[in-house]
Structure 1
Amino acid sequence: MIKYIKNAVLLLAASLILQQASVGAAELEPTFQQKHASKNIAFFAPFGGASHMNWVLSIGNELGMRGHNITFLTVDEFTKLGRSSPYVNTMSVGQGVDVSGTAQYTKDLKGTTIDTIKFMGKGFEYMYANFERDFKAAKEFFESNNIDLAICDHFSDACYTAADLLHIPYVVTSTLSITNDGGATYINNKLTTMTDFTTEFQPFATRFVGKFFVPMMELYYLLPTLNQVTDRKRALGIPAKMQEPSETWKNSLKLINSLNGFSAPRPLGPLVEYVGPIISKTYQPLTEDLKEYLDSHERVAYVAFGQMATPVEKDIYLILSGLLESIEQGRLDGFLWASVHAAGYFPDTITTSSNTTYNVQDMFNQRNPHARVIKWAPQTAVLQHPSTRLFVSHGGLGSWYESMYSGTRMVMFPFFGDQPGNALLIERGKLGGILKNDFTVPQAVELLRRILDDEDGEIAKNVDKYQALVQIHSRHGVAKGADLIEEVAYTHEDGLLKHRQSADQRMGYVKSHDLDLYGALLVVVGLGLWFTTAIVKHVALHLKSTSTEKTQYYRQHIHD
């Protein structure tokens, strides 16, 4: 006790000394904004949903507080997201794309590469559905408002195409590092191969197919769609050419709402910056009836699959059966399911292995005291409630962040995109498990048992570590993101960040990869081998000649 008192006294004394030393000290203040004025900035994101927009809006709000004029350009459905950012102006460019029917495209997905590529094709249709309107809106807004810098969601080709055409610098925002300067030979960076983010656990055949055959399959299935997009651009007078995003964005800064542990660790280029996880610190509270429901339970599973991932009837039947049997076994005492677009796919009844039949409509009408299905739930508030013990999710990165921030273990039911890769990271990191769509009900029940019981405590220990990781890195992500946006706005030269360009960007491919050195080495080695061979041949001929002379000499003397 005396030791602690002494330490406290020493800390207090040190604090007083520091305070006295700081009296009268001058403080550095930034002046760059006074010299060059504030900037007009536009963030354009008409597609992708809250996970693409909320974190960037947090950065935008910070920029607005710093005195910049920032506008959020989006579609009708997402203007509501701007309400939480009072320093951001929000403007709609029209109605968005209806994605409520995604279930019809996901119901037959079996996880094959061809399925993934075909689904990518459907994704391109969504992304480019209103390209002409979006491009025109972006271009006109950038011109009429003297935009100094554009922030473009990585799905918004209209944004960076308009910025390129007007010679306006732009920053690309994404939750994934999907460009060449954010990859490595062992990283699966394409949407078609990121069912596993690295090649570490992949057999030779999978790696071989992914490296050489998947690009050809992409070309075969996606070329017609990409050709149509190119033709549509040219019809607008855009000098379009077909190239991957890595090439399009090669000179732009990429802000990634991620961090190591949630992305497979890899070297990042100078134009790629992790700023994640950016999580809103304010959230919508529980409604009275939801609070009453959660307060009256102790072990609740929360189920939500986001806006784009829609489970179909067989998936819902599997998940419902697993949850209900877990309730019957006493591991859970309730579940809350946010159905979003999936309401029409719920079965009428569920019969568990105990031969108990449940009326699913009772779950929608709140007549089942333990099982409740609603259209939407304030996710952060639900996860923060102490009764929420498990999160059954599609595996979106935003949901993963929120789950770890609250310290909630996870069951992943992935659909497409980065979700299968996220699920594998969660399973391998022992933060939860993967519920596969071809599981039987007993397998689903066993998975829930293993994760909820956590007999060796390993899941709880790892969730605690990730909770610390998320909470530590989310402290300053918004400020870091705003600093990087300002860096581009105040330091670019004709859209280029010369101070961030690595030497290889100014060198030829041969020199930057030392191919000339290897070539010279081959020449030197080749000449050395040739010279050595010539000497050996000469010596051998000399020895042979000498040997022949000696033989002839001895034969002659023997004959004499």
Structure 2
Amino acid sequence: MFLTVSILLFVSALVSVQASTNPKVSSEGCIRPNNRGEGLGWNEYCCYYAYIDPHFSDDQTKFIKNFPTVELVSAGPALIETEERKSMSCILSNDDHVDSLLYMMKALMLNFTDSTYQAHTKKDVDLAICDYFNMACVEASIANKIPFIVTCTHVLNADALAPYINIDFLSMHNPTSKNVPFFERLRDKVINPIRLLIKARGFIKKFRQEQRALGLEPTSGQWRIKFKDSIKMFNTAFGFDPQRPIGPLVEPIGPILPKTRPVLTDDLQQFLDSHQKVVYVAFGQHAVQATEELGLIMTSMLENMETGDIDGILWSVRDMEHLFPETLQTRSGQVYQWAPQVAILHHPSTQLFLTHGGSASVYEALYNGVPIVIYPFFGDQHAAAIIAEENGYGRWMKKNDQEQATKVVQEVLRDDRYRQNANRFKALVQIRSNHGVQRGADVVEEALYLHQDGKINHRRDVRRDLSFLKAYNLDLYLFSLFVIFGSLFGVYRLVSYGLQQSSVKAKKVKSA
């Protein structure tokens, strides 16, 4: 007997695995193959990695370079081209969350074509791991009645929904309702959803037409409904995601981090060894800053250098040289197109990490006990800044406020509490990452062997098989109330009748 497991991730579809009679999915690659598969038993599987075409600026095939037995399968062209990606960050950084969400919906869902769908069905697979936004992977799995596991960085599904937790894209910039003013909540929860429905009518109609053309059941954009019978696996943990009850199909297995790190280049090693108070600045591959934003950040660094709070700056610029001010080209500041982030954060001279707030960057900093300052751009990055301040291991650098930008850097560097809290969460990240791969691999195998026509019924919430009244015992409470009030009413009627009869008898006696 042979089994095939297919793993698909976000803009790329990922992998499929073929095993012998008693397969063991013990490899990290079965969860996320990007340089995290040291312990993976790929020899037990024949794997397929479905990737987007390499004209997307980041070659997706790099994620499996350490796995020679993995077969590459094209998943079609990129949904977002390189040039469009530069404008994407500006659009998503827009304060109007409705426009930002509408842009993402069009970019990621409108290109749900037959070729994209077929790319996920042409391999005979037994299990798929699909990114939260990869609906082609989900639909292909449902059509072929194979189990699929949905993956994402943060817990965004209805299985972990609570009224006070913000998992929708219009309100997720505040992770919870705590400390959110009434009118801001009204805007995010009521006004903006109505605006989105009005603006997205044409897009939703077109998307439904594309789904029908493929023989799929339209979802009207409510793709979470498709996940209701599948395990959801998230690279996070409580402490980075707001605490609340979660369902039996939800598995927070993170943070998962590489067990190996690239070594420092000679010039980086020399620079870090010759400084004691270095700030590392990196904003990820999707955060493209304007010159004004870089100027604000750079000024905050240089002003803290003048006060002696820092003595060196490392910048990872990622194709942003044209935006970068020339002022930093000094012996105290170094600019790099690419930098081995984990190795830099591991060096004892790195005292602070200035980041956009991407989850991987936050985890890598805290794994090494380095406090952070977050300059968020879009999506869940604002929530990461709020959580960093609540947990005490970092601060939020606000836009268009030079004084505040300089102050937060100085505060984190001078106040030992930030380093202490970073070390507390260092324990959490290291503990969780130590066995996160194995937890994820166990979940994959569980779904592979226990599914029924693609559904994970043994984890199905019993609540879904009960009526609303029965699930919350409301029928019992209503019946009990009926009995109690019925009895009280009966007693009332008996007492009233008795008093009435006594009154009648008294009147008869008087008349006699």
Pick the TM interval, shorter chain: 0.7 to 0.9
Q: Which amino acid aligns with 2:414?
A: D
Q: Which residue does the alignment assign to 2:98? A: 117
Could you report, residue by residue, the CA deviation over 1:467-497 in whole angstroms, capped at 9, with x for unpaired residues? 1111111111111111110111111111122
Instruction: Check conservation: 2:7, 2:49, Cα contact below 8 A.
Output: yes
- In 2, are the aligned partners of 1:259 and 1:276 still within 8 Å (CA)? yes
> Corresponding residue for 1:444?
405
CA shift at 1:371, angstroms? 2.0
Determine whether 1:429 maps to 2:391. Answer: yes
8 Å CA contact 1:61–1:85 kept in 2: the answer is no
The one of 93, 98, 107 aligned to 2:81: 98
* Equivalent AA in structure 2 for residue 448 of structure 1: V
Distance 1:72 1:544 in 2: 91
Check conservation: 1:100, 1:308, Cα contact below 8 A. no
- Which residue in the other structure is 1:301 paired with? 279
**Amino acid in structure 2 at the alignment position of 1:500:** R
> 1:400-422, CA deviations, whole angstroms, 9 ceiling, x for partnerless residues?
10000111110011122111111
| CA distance in 2 between partners of 1:514 and 1:541 (Å) | 40
1:292 aligns with 2:270: yes
| Cα distance, 1:498 vs structure 2 | 2.3
TM superposition shift of 1:343: 3.3
The SS at the match of 1:231 is helix
For residues 513-524 of structure 1, the aligned pairs below 5 Å read 513-524=472-483
For residues 62 and 125 of structure 1, what CA distance do their matches in structure 2 show? Answer: 38
More helix by share: 1
Confirm or deny: 8 A CA contact 2:233 2:251 kept in the other structure: yes
After superposition, the Cα gap between the structure-2 partners of 1:520 and 1:369, relative to the gap in structure 1 and judged at 3 Å, is same
**Residues 74, 119 of structure 2: 8 Å contact kept:** no
Distance 1:535 1:245, change over 3 A: farther
- Separation (CA, whole Å) in 2 of partners of 1:159 and 1:49: 7
Name the SS for the 1:474 alignment partner: helix
Determine helix, strand or coil for the equivalent of 1:302: strand
> Which structure 1 residue ranges, 5 or more long, are not aligned?
1-36, 347-359
- AA at the equivalent of 1:90: L
Aligned 8 A contact 1:258 1:274 in 2: yes
1:131 aligns with 2:112: yes
For residue 544 of structure 1, report the CA deviation from its aligned partner: 5.7
Aligned-residue offset at 1:433: 0.4
TM-superposed CA distance for 1:243, in Å, is: 5.2
**Partner SS for 1:476:** helix
Structure index of larger Rg: 1
Looking at structure 2, the residues matched to 182 and 504 of structure 1 have their Cα atoms a distance apart, in angstroms, of: 14
Query: 1:184-203, aligned counterparts within 5 Å?
Result: 184-203=162-181
**Equivalent residue for 2:440, pick from 462, 481, 486:** 481
Give the letter for the 1:98 counterpart.
Answer: E
Alignment of 1:313-392 (within 5 A): 313-346=291-324, 360-361=325-326, 363=328, 367-392=329-354
Structure-to-structure mapping, 1:129-528, within 5 angstroms: 130-132=111-113, 133-140=115-122, 142=123, 146-242=124-220, 244-346=222-324, 360-361=325-326, 363=328, 367-439=329-401, 441-454=402-415, 457-528=416-487
Q: Distance in 1 between matches of 2:505 and 2:177?
A: 61
Is the Cα contact below 8 Å between 1:195 and 1:420 reproduced in 2?
Answer: yes
Task: Give the conservation status (yes or no) of the 8 Å contact 1:64–1:70.
Answer: no
Partner of 1:72: 49
Q: State the superposition RMSD in angstroms.
A: 2.8
Q: Is the 8 A contact 1:56 1:173 kept in 2?
A: no
User: Is contact 2:391–2:421 with CA below 8 Å preserved after alignment?
Assistant: yes
Q: How many residues align?
A: 490
Q: CA deviation at 1:244?
A: 2.3
Q: CA deviation at 1:284?
A: 2.3
Change (3 A) 1:385 1:92: farther
2:496 and 2:193 mapped to 1: Cα distance? 50
- Segments of structure 2 that go 5 or more residues without pairing to the other structure are 15-28
Report the AA paired with residue 452 of structure 1. Answer: L
Report matched runs for 1:536-547 at 5 Å: 537-538=496-497, 541-542=500-501, 545=504
- Rate the CA distance shift 1:312–1:129 in 2: closer, same or farther, 3 A: farther
Q: Deviations over 1:274-321 (max 9, x none)?
A: 111110112222222222322222211111111222222222121111
User: Aligned to 1:468, what secondary structure does the other structure show?
Assistant: helix
Letter of the 1:390 counterpart: L
What amino acid sits opposite 2:296 in the alignment? L
Indicate the percent of aligned positions where both proteins have the same amino acid: 32
CA drift at 1:458: 1.4
Q: Which one-letter code corresponds to 1:217 in the other structure? A: R
AA of the residue aligned to 1:482: A
Quick check: 497-506 or 126-135, which moved more?
A: 126-135
Asked whether the equivalents of residues 13 and 75 of structure 2 are also in contact (C-alpha less than 8 Å), the reply is no
Corresponding position of 2:3: 39
Question: Which deviates further from its counterpart, 376-385 or 122-131?
Answer: 122-131
Describe the superposition over 1:211-258 as per-residue Cα deviations: whole angstroms up to 9, x where unpaired: 444443332333432332221122223232325233110100111111
Question: What TM-score do you get using the length of structure 1 for normalisation?
Answer: 0.80
Q: Deviations over 1:118-167 (max 9, x none)?
A: 21121122323642132121122x3xxx2011110111111011111111
Rounded to whole Å, the distance in 2 between the matches of 1:125 and 1:414 is: 23
Change (3 A) 1:333 1:38: farther
Tell me how far 1:182 sits from its aligned partner: 1.7
What one-letter code is carried by the residue in structure 2 that aligns with 1:195?
H
Q: Which amino acid aligns with 1:71?
A: Y
Shift of 1:181: 0.9
Paired AA for residue 84 in structure 1: N
Query: Do the aligned partners of 2:304 and 2:410 also contact (CA within 8 Å) in 1?
Result: yes
Q: Distance in 2 between matches of 1:546 and 1:103?
A: 96
Sort the Cα spacing of 1:520 and 1:95 in 2 relative to 1 into closer, same or farther, 3 A: same
CA distance in 2 between counterparts of 1:342 and 1:531 reads 81
Task: Note the C-alpha offset of 1:547.
Answer: 6.9
Report the CA distance shift for 1:201/1:549 in structure 2 as closer, same or farther (over 3 A): farther
